[in-house]
Chain A
Amino acid sequence: LAKTTQPISMDSYEGQEVNITCSHNNIATNDYITWYQQFPSQGPRFIIQGYKTKVTNEVASLFIPADRKSSTLSLPRVSLSDTAVYYCLVGEQTGANNLFFGTGTRLTVIP
């Protein structure tokens, strides 16, 4: 399984764009990149998933370069409520497989 590496923590002011980069040098051909968000006292929540290039939804954008050895989660204009831990996961797309969580990135949004 591809190991992921991401910063342990990040701080950002409200209203700024936040980019969290994840390294996954050993990503396999069949692997997708998925990001989860976790608030305190809650379970992880799916944010976005992609295979290559760029994916955008109402919450975030995911940028994946051609070599797919890294990916960047972009959160536009963060607010205090975006303070959470963000996990980058690499694995097969289907939900019928267990997930492997790394340490995640603790994002703190400052007023």
Chain B
Amino acid sequence: EAGVTQFPSHSVIEKGQTVTLRCDPISGHDNLYWYRRVMGKEIKFLLHFVKESKQDESGMPNNRFLAERTGGTYSTLKVQPAELEDSGVYFCASSQGGEQFFGPGTRLTVL
């Protein structure tokens, strides 16, 4: 069974550009989460989808971040425009009421 996958694994962009991260959860998992770790900090929750609905987006840092999960399958996280402080590793996780399974993360570098 395929685990949670994320694309791309790495992304290097310049300040002011737009980047879109993608997460494919484990098939059948209704819950999808985004987390991130910025340099030197702890892993922080960003938001939680239940199917296509945003259950909790209290961790989204500002309106430059937009997450979608159309159709309740894969999810995208867009950062527009990217700032230097957005650099870090973005993790996606999915669950079906039990443990959360994490993807390998996308390392975002904003120059």
- Max count, chain B CB within 10 A of own CB: residue among A43, A87, A97: A43
- Is B42 in contact with A95, judged by CB distance below 8 angstroms? no
Tell me the interface secondary structure of chain B in the complex.
Answer: strand
Q: How large is the interface on B (under 10, 10 to 19, 20 to 34, 35 or more residues)?
A: 20 to 34
Tell me the interface secondary structure of chain A in the complex.
Answer: loop
Q: Does B20 contact A (CB under 8 A)?
A: no
- The residue from A41, A46, A101 contacting B99, defined by CB atoms under 8 A apart: A46
Contact with B along A16-51 (1 / 0, CB 8 A): 000000000000000000100000011111100100
Chain B, Cβ-Cβ closest to A42:
B104
- Is B42 in contact with A103, judged by CB distance below 8 angstroms? yes
Q: Does B61 contact A (CB under 8 A)?
A: no
- Is A96 in contact with B4, judged by CB distance below 8 angstroms? no
- Is B48 in contact with A49, judged by CB distance below 8 angstroms? no
With A95-B31, A95-B96, A95-B98 as given contacts, are A43 and B42 in contact (CB-CB < 8 Å)? no
Chain A, Cβ-Cβ closest to B33:
A98
Q: How large is the interface on A (under 10, 10 to 19, 20 to 34, 35 or more residues)?
A: 20 to 34
Bound-state CA distance A43–B5 (Å) is 10
Using CB atoms and an 8 Å cutoff, list the residues of chain A in contact with chain B.
34, 41-46, 49, 87, 94-104
11 pairs of residues in contact across A and B, judged by CB atoms under 8 Å: A41-B104, A41-B105, A43-B93, A43-B103, A43-B105, A95-B95, A95-B97, A95-B98, A99-B33, A101-B44, A103-B42
Using CB atoms and an 8 Å cutoff, list the residues of chain B in contact with chain A.
4, 31, 33, 35, 42-45, 48, 50, 55-56, 59, 91-93, 95-105
